[in-house]
Amino acid sequence: MQFDLLINAIIAGLMLGAFYAAVTSGISISFGMLDIVNIAHPGFIILGSYIAYIVNVQLGADPIVIAIVALPAFYALGSIIYEIYYRSFEKHGQDSLRGLAFFFGLLFVTEVVLNMVFGVDYRSVNVPYIGGSLTIGWMEFPIRMLVPAVVSILMFGGLQIYLSRTFIGRAVMAVSQDPQALQLMAVDPIRIKRIAFSISLATASMAGAFLIIIQPVIPSSGREYIGRVFAICVLGGLGSLPGTLIAALLIGVIESITSTFYGPSWAPAVSFGLLLLTLAVRPSGLLGR
Amino acid sequence: MAANTNSISIEGVDAGYGLVRVLDNVSLRVNSGETVALLGTNGNGKSTLMKCIMGWARPSKGRIVAEIDGEKHDLAGLSTEQIVDLGIALVPEGRRLFPRQTVEENLLLGASRPKARAHIKTNLDFCFEIFPRLAERKSQLAGSMSGGEQQMLALARALMLNPRILLVDEPSVGLAPLLVSRTIDAIKQLKDHFNLTVLMAEQNFTQALRIADRGYVIVHGKIEFEGNSADELNNNDLIRQFYLGM
Ligand SMILES: Nc1ncnc2c1ncn2[C@@H]1O[C@H](COP(=O)(O)OP(=O)(O)O)[C@@H](O)[C@H]1O
Ligand SMILES: [Mg+2]
């Protein structure tokens, strides 16, 4: 095993992991903190990719800037989806199986609509830094990985500060523990869940931009992430954003090392092996509840 | 009517769960600044009455009127959050803390409503002064504390709401005798400091009557006896016989 190859694999893995963290953050909030099995989340990430794509092609704007401008729209979409989900399922205590079917349907609809509008060809964005790379000694940082990674970490830090330091953030952390007790704090648990779910959906705008900077996208690209994001979320521990970040970095590094030395086809097997092993030793995940 | 009057008045309330009627024509009053005990053994409807006040259970008959800072509010139709936001705090049965959050986070959750946020610093200082244990364990998870500490935290969290009326449902449950009397003392201290109006449900008659001005005895969902002073309750033959074991 060559040393510089290993170091570069770790660096690439950390950047990949930071990207996985952004992809998983929404699930970590909806599934980990609100008990909402939003398997449609990767579909909304792809929607974010296509929004970045279309505006980038039309106006030449940077995908990340586009994603930030689109945040309020994703937030609003999240509020609408939560309201429908709450009224149709959660309110009647039918959240688990029927809720899963609802989100599966949403995933399907998103994919079909994107297919009709954009077709099945791969789409990518035009950004000046996409081919560049930053070299320090023999360490290499491809910019198209570095930029999403850095912005992702910033987003993660922001979310964590919001959840741990604000009144609404603390209520989000409390709501799955005892929604009725939250009412005794004069806080409406449904409102808190709506806000948190909307935030979780807003992260899809960012993750979508990251994805299309890193690689070309087709409408069904979201599917490859469903298994991985839930694995990272569970590995990190439900309800813990720091846990999600650590798990995402870990999976990123392990996948990167595995594909560098043993070939990319081994990467998923090693990741899921690690997940099963961790859960056998620590059923609540790395930092979970 | 003085602007600082805070009272609660329950008038002829019937309530229950589905077809099972639990409360039968219950009337009860807590005047401004009083500590009133709602006494009764297990299963007689004390918690159901608390739930009715908080809007968790809806009376099928009667009214509940709260007077907050001299203004009257009929609680029918208000959500639990709105009732709490009027200034009515409940320390519920079983405490209902947020076990996976720290002591400090639990306290700050209590101060979520905008009207309480302005008083966070003074209220937090006072809670830590009365319950030094909570200050020592500020960053510990609420779920990892002992029963006595959890009861202190539940009381302190309710105070962070900056309430006018405090409802406490069976604070003594599950605590060792020494901790029971400490908890009851703490309720009295908090009441005096914040000038609260207190309704406390208890099955520990002796302890409750140490701090209560008056009390009601509830049996099978009916108010069977109303004592206009702690002495009157202590000396009532029925209570002595059945509840105090004398
Ligand atoms: N959620 C509920 N559903 C049905 N019955 C209930 C419920 N809660 C309490 N009860 C019944 O109502 C009666 C009064 O209960 P409760 O108000 O909890 O009494 P207490 O607080 O005095 O112990 C009991 O017979 C109890 O079984
Ligand atoms: Mg009870």
Residues with CB under 6 A from ligand 1: B 17, 20, 22, 40, 42-48
Give CA torsion, residues B155, B159, B165, B167, to 10 deg.
-20
**With pLDDT > 70 as the criterion, what percentage of chain B qualifies?**
97
Q: How far is the CA of A118 from the centre of ligand 1 (A)?
A: 59
The yes-or-no verdict on residue B1 having pLDDT over 60 is no
Strand partners, B66: B8, B73
Q: Which atom of ligand 1 is nearest to the CA of B49?
A: 17
Q: Is the Cβ of B96 closer than 8 Å to some Cβ of chain A?
A: yes
The yes-or-no verdict on residue B244 having pLDDT over 70 is no
Q: Which residues of A touch B96 (CB under 8 A)?
A: 178, 180-181, 184
Q: How far is A176 from chain B (nearest CA, A)?
A: 9
Q: Phi, psi at residue B16, to the nearest 5°?
A: -170, -165
Q: What is the pLDDT of residues B149-203, one digit of tens each?
A: 999 999 999 999 999 999 999 999 989 998 999 999 999 999 999 999 999 999 9
Task: Mark out the alpha helices in A60-142 (DSSP H runs).
Answer: 63-88, 97-118
B44 is written with which tokens? 């007689």
What does the pLDDT average to over B210-231?
91
Q: Report domain extents, chain A.
A: 25-221
- List all residues of chain B from 41 to 70 with a beta carbon under 8 Å from chain A: 54, 56
How many CB pairs lie under 8 A apart between chains A and B?
68
pLDDT of A135? 87
Contact A187 B113 (CB under 8 A): yes
The yes-or-no verdict on residue B243 having pLDDT over 70 is no
Q: Which atom of ligand 1 is nearest to the CA of B16?
A: 12
Is the Cα torsion angle B78, B84, B89, B94 positive or negative in sign?
Answer: positive
Q: Which atom of ligand 1 is nearest to the CA of B170?
A: 21
pLDDT of B246? 53
Q: What is the pLDDT of residues B74-98, one digit of tens each?
A: 999 899 999 999 999 999 999 999 9
- Chain B residue with Cα closest to A239: B100
Collect the ranges in chain A with pLDDT lower than 50: none
Contact (CB, 8 A) for B150 and B95 = yes
Q: Which residues of B touch A188 (CB under 8 A)?
A: 79, 81
Q: Which residues of A touch B158 (CB under 8 A)?
A: 184
DSSP B161: T
Q: How far is B51 from chain A (nearest CA, A)?
A: 11
Q: What is the pLDDT of residues B36-74, one digit of tens each?
A: 999 999 999 999 999 999 999 999 999 999 999 999 999
- The number of residues making up chain A comes to 289
Say whether B8 sits in a helix, a strand or coil: strand
pLDDT of B242? 65
As a whole number of Å, the CA-based R_g of chain B is 17
Q: Whose CA is nearest to atom 24 of ligand 1?
A: B43
Superfamily of segment(s) B7-90+163-242: P-loop containing nucleotide triphosphate hydrolases (3.40.50.300)
- How far apart (Å, rounded) are the C-alpha atoms in residues B18 and B14? 12
pLDDT of B98? 97
